[in-house]
A and B are shown apart, each in its own frame.
Chain A
Amino acid sequence: EPEVTQTPSHQVTQMGQEVILRCVPISNHLYFYWYRQILGQKVEFLVSFYNNEISEKSEIFDDQFSVERPDGSNFTLKIRSTKLEDSAMYFCASSLDTEAFFGQGTRLTVV
């Protein structure tokens, strides 16, 4: 069964460093997303991507964040200068329409 894969599963980084979280969405999907879940809180939308551009982004998704689909298969989230409060589980998802399929997540720990 096709699935969304994310790497790495766990990333520890120093505050102020750049991180890139990687995702391979399901191959025939058209919409791509990043969500995050801070420990103990709900899953929050960050950004959606369609037709090679951002279609919507949340208030959380400020200038520190960027997304790219550098080739036909990968979808990346870059955080330029990480802060302690960026520590969270980051989930990539993809969909054909309403039903999004999620990856296993990357646990980002900023120290």
Chain B
Amino acid sequence: DQQVKQNSPSLSVQEGRISILNCDYTNSMFDYFLWYKKYPAEGPTFLISISSIKDKNEDGRFTVFLNKSAKHLSLHIVPSQPGDSAVYFCAATRGSNYKLTFGKGTLLTVNP
């Protein structure tokens, strides 16, 4: 039961260009969405989040867009840097329990 889907297992971009990571969800009860970054042999690191009442949230080089009608969100990284190379997980939560439902992740490679 894939409630959160990341359909691209990998993405490769050039340094300085924009990286766009996509995520779709099926559960309309989700009310908060998060992006995590994960390096090998480390735990997920929180990156940025967005409430379902917003359609955009920006933090430095990172912007998350939410399209509720399409049940779609995306993470934009601009400009991309080689240090951004990692697996990016989309996650969603609902209600006050705060349990996270993760997508399978997208491996981003930023080439110098």
Contacts and interface: CB of A to CB of B under 8 A. Distances in A.
Interface of A: 4, 6, 31, 33, 35, 41-45, 48, 50, 55-56, 91, 93, 95, 97-105
A103 B45 CA distance: 9
Interface stretch (B18-26, B72-80, B96-104): B96-104
Which 4 A-B pairs rank lowest in CB-CB distance, beginning with the nearest? A102-B43, A43-B102, A42-B104, A98-B32
B82 interface: no
Contact of B100 (A4, A45, A55): A45
Nearest to B4: A42
A98 B98 contact: yes
Contacts of B49: 98-99
B93 interface: yes
A56 B97 contact: yes
A105 to B, nearest CB: 5
B16 interface: no
A78 B103 CA distance: 26
B43 A100 contact: no
Nearest to B48: A99
Interface string B35-57: 01000011111100100000000
A99 B46 contact: yes
Contacts of A101: 46
Nearest to B94: A98
A45 B101 CA distance: 7
Most buried by A among B32, B41, B103: B41
B44 A91 contact: yes
B98 A97 contact: yes
B108 interface: no
A55 B95 CA distance: 12
B99 A48 contact: yes
B54 to A, nearest CB: 13
Contacts of B44: 43, 91, 102
Contacts of B100: 33, 35, 43, 45, 100
A105 B43 CA distance: 6
A97 B43 CA distance: 19
